[in-house]
Amino acid sequence: MTKLTLGTHPYLLGFEQLERLVERSAKTGNDGYPPYNIEQTSDTSYRITLAVAGFGDDDLSITVEDSQLVIRGRQTDDSEGRVFLHRGIAARQFQKSFVLADGVEVGAARIENGLLHVDLNRAVPDRIIQKIEISKG
């Protein structure tokens, strides 16, 4: 028996890119740091919230690369000359990737109380009905 994948199913034409996106997102290996929420704020908008306590504006970057929202954080280690009796807050870097569907655009991003909020908006496409004429002969 042949295994049908999303890109090879006979009724799904042109979805090869979607299959590649799913494979790529599965390989990112997000380790759960930093913790995040994804919430739907309306029928056409979403918000991703990451817990980024200790990161400043200059420590974070948000880019859209190849239909992926990529959020990176890099803290500088300022512990030189300091003696820690306990160190539970480490200077740690991270990268979180989220695959964006066609029509989803990144809106505003802001930091508030140690939380990074990134708003996403999905444009509602116009419904297009196209009639195809059948030629004779």
Express each pLDDT in 17-61 by its tens digit.
777 767 766 666 557 889 999 999 999 999 999 999 889 889 999
Q: State whether the Cα torsion 58-64-66-69 is positive or negative.
A: positive
Note whether 48 and 69 are same-domain residues: yes
pLDDT reported for residue 127: 86
pTM reported for the whole predicted model: 0.72
Q: Tell me: pLDDT of 6 over 70.
A: no
Which tens digits make up the pLDDT trace of 53-85? 889 889 999 999 988 899 999 987 777 888 989
Whether residue 95 lies inside any domain: the answer is yes
Question: Which domain covers residue 6, as residue numbers?
Answer: 1-30
Are 94 and 54 spatial neighbours (Cβ–Cβ below 8 Å)? no
Q: Tell me: pLDDT of 106 over 90.
A: yes
Instruction: Using the structure block, give the residue that is written with the tokens 């009905």.
Output: 129
pLDDT reported for residue 8: 67
Distance CA 123, CA 10 (A): 29
Distance CA 92, CA 79 (A): 13
Note whether 68 and 118 are same-domain residues: yes
Q: Report the CATH number that the domain containing residue 69 is assigned in CATH.
A: 2.60.40.790
Phi-psi region of 37 (alpha: psi -120 to 50; beta: other; left: phi over 0): beta
Distance CA 126, CA 97 (A): 29
